[in-house]
Structure 1
Amino acid sequence: MALFTVETIRDLSRLGELAEEWERLAASLSPHLPFNFPNWALNWWPAYRRDSLAARDELLCYALRDADGGLVAVAPMFVTHRPGYGPLRTRELQFFGADTNVTEWRGLICRPEQAEPVLAALSARLQQDKPADFVQWRGLPAGTCARVFRGDFTPQAIMDLPVFYLDLPDSWDAFKRNLPRNVKESLRKCYNSLARDGHPFTLRVVEAEADVPAALDVFFALHNLRAEARDTSVRHPDVFFAAQSQDFLRAFCADMARRGDLRIFQLVIADKVVATRVGFILGDELYMYFSGYDLEWSRYSVMTTLVAEAIQWAIAHRLRLFNLSTGSDVSKTRWRPARVDFFGGYQILGGAVSRVPLAALLALRNRRSPAKPAVVAAGGEPQQGLAAGSS
């Protein structure tokens, strides 16, 4: 069995010192997820950490190294105390990303083939130190043996999460040849309906940092409009309704733009943006994040057209992989993508005494209304009731 050293990190500056090694580790994983990279975590914690009488979040991350000192895993985690202060509190250890689904994936950052020994080493440390009453595990690779947890582990089906992606060929024609007939027909109708009604469009790709604030203003407005749609098969909540989440995305996108890794796709008709989607360049992969569209143009399926245009853009720029993001809605599965599955659950650390508060917390979370996400800071409820990852 592989032996790893486990470093406990309680200070954000120390976590930042790992950024260069962490970046290389995240870049070695595929499909790439922006949430795996250090700049997401280092922006997320200051934005969502909370310190109130109701709940208090305490940084508690872990870095695991092999016998040669190489970084093999990062666990960006924190303990939520409920209530925030006082002798009678529950303590939950969970990953960065407890928000209104702004973070579409969260979990342990390591290579899949090392997941079991890494989990075994980290779980052993947690059982030894008992920093919390229970752990909320997420992002575990499908097939990972739950027996590595030296304690009670309860899988949660609601934490099951697929990631869908497309391996891109050398040309758009080659890509279309492998599409199902119904998708080819849908694409034909999308393009023909706009042309028939005299609506020529252009694809605008925003990437310069100076242009990002205005592009995000449009994105937030159209994302909110999308959430108001009632005649769709999948309900899309307004993930960015809170100023806190908008401020976080603005900071992260500015950072990505400075790195040259931001692309905001806009479908423009008569000088008006009718559909938009945020994308992140991660090596030779493109991750498609959340979207929005003008409901007045929904009869033209402008979001489908925008995705098709973004795929063509990615192929033209010699990208290898087009990540459709998380969630199983038809807007992703229709493209016949490949998929990677993850699961999650709870591990008891505090013995039988921790079962009651965990049961009470789960009951509270399961009663949450799916109609509209509440303002959730770090330590907030998991993404239940939301169209998780439905970008």
Structure 2
Amino acid sequence: MLRGEVIDDPTALAALEPHWWRLWASSRTATPFQCPAWLLAWWEAFAPGELATIAVWRDEDLAGLAPLYRERAISGSRLLPVGISLSDYLDILCLPGIEMAVAGIIADVVAKIEWSQWILPDLPADAAGLAISHPAMEASEAVNHAACPVLAIAGDDRLAGCVPSRRWRQLRRAYRAACGRGRVSVWPAQNDPRLFLDHLVRLHGARWAGYGDGVLNGPNVKEFHSHALPPLAAHGLVRCWLIAIDDQVIGAYYGFHHRQRAYAYLGGFDPDYAEVSPGAILIGHAITEALREGASEFDFLRGREAYKYSWGAVDQWTKHRIWTRGSIP
């Protein structure tokens, strides 16, 4: 027997964490962006409205979770997903085999709370959230929302048969140019999240200076990542790489690895070393390590920047859906 409840207290949401991790690990469509390390840190840093998360229980087990909050406005209130904006993928979590039943319970509970519009963006093509329906809610068509270029990877760690030959040659030239400026070293930094984040903030800001200073410049964004990185690292989800020439750190790469998929989330480099392409060297290194870990896909996440396609990535589109109040027949 499934039962649903609304969680509107942040303390109660945090208390779900051990149940949440078990559900996330079982959920067929889960990505790192739905795990409690990411979303609890997001809520702690931003809390932009009233918490209205829906939990679905099967006896003592958490069987489903829709992390939501309510944003009130004069024109009416909206239900939005916890993690919006900074998360490239959003969805509800469900135990496998009962996705339709869980989606039905979530819809029943959502229909009983006050809102005028429920918005779910950034839904993967196989998202459990796309199955949500209810007679009291009118659903829009699921439309394309954002392109996430994805590279299918296979082969050995030389990358020669994995990325376009032109990109492979450019990568080799970049590495030779970097070696011409000194001793090159690349190393993992997820075991020291604070040090890594300091370098990432500095290098990302330097890369985007004068162009809005990058996504880490927003209010509370650095606080969010400082809270999220340690538990993400503790659960083996992050892949953080730094590159240095001699003793100067010139580039940072922040990504994830989950199941057979690697995710390139954020990076930065020192513009004084742009001619040696530290960002490309780090991406090449990240793809190589993803191959060694058994990944079959390398996801560049949202955005259609040209450099992603130079690696051979192909667009996969997320979906966007809106529910509004309807009339019960």
TM-score by length of 1: 0.70
Alpha-carbon separation, structure 1, partners of 2:256 and 2:14: 21
* Alignment correspondent of 2:80: 94
TM-aligned CA deviation for residue 349 of structure 1 = 2.1
Deviation at 1:37, TM superposition (A): 0.4
Task: In structure 1, give the amino acid aligned to 2:232.
Answer: M
Q: Where does residue 60 of structure 1 map in the other structure?
A: 52
1:26 matched to 2:16: no
- Summarize the Cα distance change of 1:348–1:260 in structure 2 as closer, same or farther, 3 Å threshold: closer
Given that residues 241 and 253 in structure 2 are in contact (C-alpha distance below 8 angstroms), is that contact kept between their aligned partners in structure 1?
A: yes
Q: Out of 287-296 and 31-40, give the one that drifted further.
A: 31-40
Contact 1:132 1:350 in 2 (8 A): no
Alpha-carbon distance in structure 2 between the residues aligned to 1:114 and 1:163? 28
Q: Distance in 2 between matches of 1:23 and 1:147?
A: 23
* Structure 2 counterpart SS, 1:176: coil
Structure 2: give runs of 5+ residues left out of the alignment: none
The counterpart of 1:214, out of the listed 185, 190, 195, is: 195
Gap runs ≥5 in structure 1: 51-56, 83-87, 231-235, 352-391
Match of 1:246 among 219, 222, 226: 222
Mapping 1:1-391, distance limit 5 Å: 4-29=2-27, 33-50=31-48, 57-65=49-57, 70-82=61-73, 90-98=76-84, 101-110=85-94, 118-127=102-111, 129-142=112-125, 148-150=133-135, 151-155=137-141, 160-166=145-151, 168-169=153-154, 171-173=156-158, 175-195=159-179, 197-208=180-191, 211-228=192-209, 238-259=214-235, 261-282=237-258, 286-317=262-293, 322-337=298-313, 341-349=317-325
Distance 1:20-1:206 versus aligned 2 partners, 3 A rule: same
Q: Deviations over 1:282-310 (max 9, x none)?
A: 46654332111112222322211111112
3-state SS in 2 of match to 1:148: coil
Instruction: For 1:64, give the aligned amino acid.
Output: V
1:340-366 residue CA offsets vs partner (Å, 9 max, x unmatched): 542113211277xxxxxxxxxxxxxxx
Identity %: 21
User: 2:29 & 2:305 partners in 1: Cα distance?
Assistant: 19
Instruction: Please say if residues 264 and 278 of structure 1, whose CA atoms lie closer than 8 Å, have aligned partners that are also in contact.
Output: yes
Residue deviations 1:56-75, cap 9 Å, x none?
x2111112346x76544210
Shift of 1:49: 1.2
Q: Aligned AA for 1:328?
A: R
Instruction: Say how many residue pairs are matched.
Output: 324
Deviation at 1:183, TM superposition (A): 2.2
* 1:260-302 Cα deviation digits (max 9, x unpaired): 5544211111211211111334466543321111122223222
Give 3-state SS (helix, strand or coil) of 2:216's partner.
coil
Hey, what's the Cα distance between the residues in 1 that align with 2:255 and 2:222? Answer: 16
Classify the secondary structure of the residue corresponding to 2:301.
Answer: strand
Give the SS at the match of 1:172: coil
Q: Residues 35 and 147 of structure 1: is their aligned pair in 2 closer, same or farther, counting only changes over 3 Å?
A: closer
User: What is the RMSD computed on CA atoms of the aligned residues?
Assistant: 3.4
> Distance between the aligned counterparts of 1:339 and 1:28, measured in 2?
27
Find the aligned partners of 2:75 and 2:249 in 1 and give their Cα distance. Answer: 49
Change (3 A) 1:156 1:147: closer
Measured after TM superposition, the shift of residue 327 of structure 1 is 3.0
Is the contact between residue 130 and residue 349 of structure 1 (CA under 8 Å) also seen in structure 2?
A: no
Listed one character per residue, the Cα deviations across residues 47-94 of structure 1 (whole Å, up to 9, x for unaligned) are 1114xxxxxx2111112346x765442100011122xxxxx5621111
Closer, same or farther: CA 253–60 of 1 in aligned 2, 3 Å: same
**TM-score normalized by structure 2?**
0.82
Q: 1:193 to 1:112 in 2, by over 3 A?
A: farther
Inter-partner Cα distance in structure 1 for 2:60 and 2:26: 17
Q: Are the aligned partners of 2:238 and 2:255 in contact in 1 as well (CA < 8 Å)?
A: yes
Deviation track 1:294-343 (CA, whole Å, cap 9, x = no partner) reads 12222322211111112223334556654433333333333344765421
Which range moves more in the overlay, 258-267 or 313-322? 313-322
